[in-house]
A and B are shown apart, each in its own frame.
Chain A
Amino acid sequence: MRHTLSVTVENKPGILTRVAGLFARRGYNIESLVVAETENPQISRMTIVVDGDGRIIEQVSKQLHKLINVLKIQDITHEEAVHRELILLRVNADATNRTEILQVAEVFRARIVDMSRASVTIEATGDTSKIEAILTTFRPYGIKEFARTGRLSMMRGK
């Protein structure tokens, strides 16, 4: 099953390579990895979605812990947390269906960020299932291109 790991790391050169390299050489599957600075510029947070059974996830966590620049690892899969992804997608749209597409986008609380004669570009955020739903819904219109981020996660306040 998919697990979401929230990993705080020291913001040192090469840390991304160390983490990614660890996954590659031990044969773990990264579904997505998002990394950015936190409120403390010396510390970055990585949100890593990894596929595997409990034993594999335990190994992943332990091996990550061995990296000297890794400070903390939380498996927040079963925790109360907020998860978000962002998607940009350009959909075929001409005069006949543009209004319909805009309405569909509205339903998903997506925003139109660009428009041309033959297409519209839509921006949406949400958890993984919402992003999947958006893709499914727009596919019949013809998706020319899309780009999506990995998952960003944060524990809910207690």
Chain B
Amino acid sequence: MELNGAQALLKALEANGVDVIFGYPGGSVLPIYDALLDSPIHHILVRCEQGAAHAASGYARASGRPGVCLATSGPGATNLVTGIANAYMDSIPMVAITGQVPSSMVGTDAFQEVDITGITMPIIKHSYLVQDVTEIPRVVQEAFHLASTGRPGPVLIDIPKDVQQTKLTWDGLPEIDIKGYKPTFKGHPAQIKNAVHMIEASERPVILVGGGIVNPQAPAELMELARKAQIPVTTTLMAVGAFPETDDLSLGLIGMHGTAYANLAVSNADLLIGIGVRFGDRATGNTARFAKNAKIIHIDIDPAEIGKNTEIDLPIVGDAGTVLAEINRLVGEHRHDAWMEQIATWKRERPLKYRTDRLTVQYVLEEMGDLTRDRAIVATDVGQHQMWAAQHYKFLRPGQLVTSAGLGCMGFGLPAANGVQVARPDDLVILVTGDGSIQMQMQELGTARQENLPLKIVLFNNNALGMVRQLQHFYCDKRFSGVKLSFNPDFIALAKAYGIQTYQIHSKEETKAVLEEAFAHPGIVLVEVLVDENEIVYPSVLGNKGLDETLVYE
């Protein structure tokens, strides 16, 4: 069968299970857009390429399969960059496809030419500049394999326009054989035995899980280990929900805005078991004070993470689910009653608290949690609302919170929620956002409407950039600079202009009824919640402080 490069690309994508592409057309991808007309793959037209990358990311997080985004050369490609960086930081499987100017013009500063493989080199798992049309089937095969196996991540395929137009004879997809890429899945048996001994000898163990736990069988194995050996579990932002937060063994979020009891437990533990976690600075606080009474076991599929940020006593390189299954096979039943008693005391004495005399984001999120606990997927933007969502909603399932963790990328929320809803058309998808964040990618309301996505958007409006304001509160002597959004649009009128059903919440009293009505609406809704800017996210670990120095709301 004779195909051109663009047709071969789509055929190879299809063979890799792709049914949706988030994209934006342009001169250098005309052949791909032409071929899309004859392909079963559904193309979703975003309003800006950054939205395409974030939507692909949301799609991947909600489906467990690589998300695909497509952009033209030059500005199309550079608009993807933030979304690629975001996927890289959170280890999200993504395949980004860009058109490139014709091969003969590469390097001449042609119209809409940028060196996108060069630009993305530090933020990508791997990239390809396709120079010959016959490479396309192999490159697509490799790209999907690389994006979705080992430590997942984004892969870029840059295809010059003439390569898209060149004919090739399609004779199926080649076997994958990447010589320099052999991830380790099974943990070393001796190390696993050592880990079991350490767990059995421990009196005050804590499990810390990160994004690596979000794979098909790992959360069930985590639950088994936690129950069998009675070990409390705290999570990083990436793993919120990987362990049900309503469980007695759950400590909730760790770190800068983690619960005081999670931070105290890690600080006082004699054994910390890190699983699929990179000990990032937002999770550890001052590393010199981090888990200083504990021996640390570190299970991760990426050997480069072992010992990168903190010293490790026992490394196990492997896939979280596989390694945990091995540990569970060997570990006996244990009780740590005194330790659990101590943790219960911390939970009682230093709970998550906030002011109750007026409408707050925290209150609305708790109400939202109570209303939708087991049936919603929550996407967030970045800032105070994000931290409060991670703290107060109480998630039950892995992947139930979709958020930009490592990059902390404002503007992620709306396009990511679009991607989530596309992946899970029948689920209740709630976007929790702020007036600052939503304005960074607000144009994606158009995408949501065009695709008839029934998103539930909850917009907390404090007419300010709350998280930066909070940083200035602590670190700049309350000299607030550049954080007042003294002109905001009328979000209700704006939503109406998009044909979106709108609601407003002004008081605690009306919160529950309005949320109930909004979430029951079959189509897209926007709920604007009017809140005060004078709020601080507590608990808080200030700069250079240790987790044992967590401030709580008094």
Binding site for B on A (CB under 8 A): 9-10, 13-14, 17-18, 21, 25, 55, 58-59, 62-63, 65-71
Does A66 contact B122, Cβ atoms closer than 8 Å?
no
The CA-CA distance from A71 to B178 in the complex, in Å, is 10
Q: How many contacts A-B (CB < 8 Å)? A: 40
3 smallest beta-carbon distances between A and B, as pairs: A62-B304, A68-B126, A71-B180
Find chain B residues with CB under 8 A from A55 CB. 307
Asked if B444 CB lies within 8 Å of chain A CBs, one says: no
Does A10 contact B180, Cβ atoms closer than 8 Å?
yes
For chain B, residues 284 to 334, give those with C-beta under 8 angstroms from any C-beta of chain A.
Answer: 302-304, 306-308
The CA-CA distance from A67 to B117 in the complex, in Å, is 14
Does A59 contact B304, Cβ atoms closer than 8 Å?
yes
Asked if B181 CB lies within 8 Å of chain A CBs, one says: yes
Given contacts A65-B304, A66-B302, contact A14 B180 (CB under 8 A): no
Residue on B nearest A66 in the bound complex, by CB: B304
Chain B 346-376 against A: per-residue CB contact (8 Å), 1 yes, 0 no? 0000000000000000000000000000000
Residue on A nearest B178 in the bound complex, by CB: A68
The CA-CA distance from A151 to B45 in the complex, in Å, is 53
Find chain B residues with CB under 8 A from A9 CB. 180
Given contacts A55-B307, A58-B307, A67-B180, contact A21 B302 (CB under 8 A): no
Find chain A residues with CB under 8 A from B304 CB. 59, 62-63, 65-66
Does A10 contact B179, Cβ atoms closer than 8 Å?
yes
Find chain B residues with CB under 8 A from A21 CB. 121-122
Chain A nearest CB, measured from B542 CB (Å): 26
Chain B 116-141 against A: per-residue CB contact (8 Å), 1 yes, 0 no? 01100110011101010000000000
Does A59 contact B179, Cβ atoms closer than 8 Å?
no
Residue on B nearest A67 in the bound complex, by CB: B180
Does A62 contact B303, Cβ atoms closer than 8 Å?
yes
The CA-CA distance from A62 to B303 in the complex, in Å, is 7
Given contacts A17-B121, A68-B180, contact A59 B129 (CB under 8 A): no
Residue on B nearest A24 in the bound complex, by CB: B122
Chain B nearest CB, measured from A46 CB (Å): 13
Asked if B146 CB lies within 8 Å of chain A CBs, one says: yes
Binding site for A on B (CB under 8 A): 117-118, 121-122, 125-127, 129, 131, 146, 178-181, 302-304, 306-308
A interface majority secondary structure: helix
Find chain B residues with CB under 8 A from A69 CB. 180
Given contacts A59-B308, A62-B303, A63-B304, contact A70 B121 (CB under 8 A): no
Given contacts A59-B308, A67-B180, contact A14 B146 (CB under 8 A): no
Tell which of B117, B179, B302 touches A14, judged by Cβ atoms closer than 8 Å: B117
Residue on B nearest A14 in the bound complex, by CB: B117
Find chain B residues with CB under 8 A from A62 CB. 303-304, 306
Given contact pairs A18-B121, A21-B122, A25-B122, a sample of 7 additional A-B residue pairs in the complex whose CB atoms are under 8 Å apart: A10-B179, A10-B180, A14-B117, A14-B127, A21-B121, A65-B304, A70-B180
Most chain A CB atoms below 10 A, which of B118, B180, B303: B180
Find chain B residues with CB under 8 A from A65 CB. 303-304
Find chain A residues with CB under 8 A from B146 CB. 68
Residue on A nearest B303 in the bound complex, by CB: A62
Chain A nearest CB, measured from B24 CB (Å): 26
Chain B nearest CB, measured from A115 CB (Å): 41
Does B129 contact A14, Cβ atoms closer than 8 Å?
yes
Find chain A residues with CB under 8 A from B308 CB. 59
The CA-CA distance from A25 to B121 in the complex, in Å, is 11
Find chain A residues with CB under 8 A from B307 CB. 55, 58-59
Given contacts A18-B121, A21-B121, contact A13 B129 (CB under 8 A): yes
Chain A nearest CB, measured from B134 CB (Å): 16
Chain A nearest CB, measured from B390 CB (Å): 29
Find chain A residues with CB under 8 A from B118 CB. 14, 17
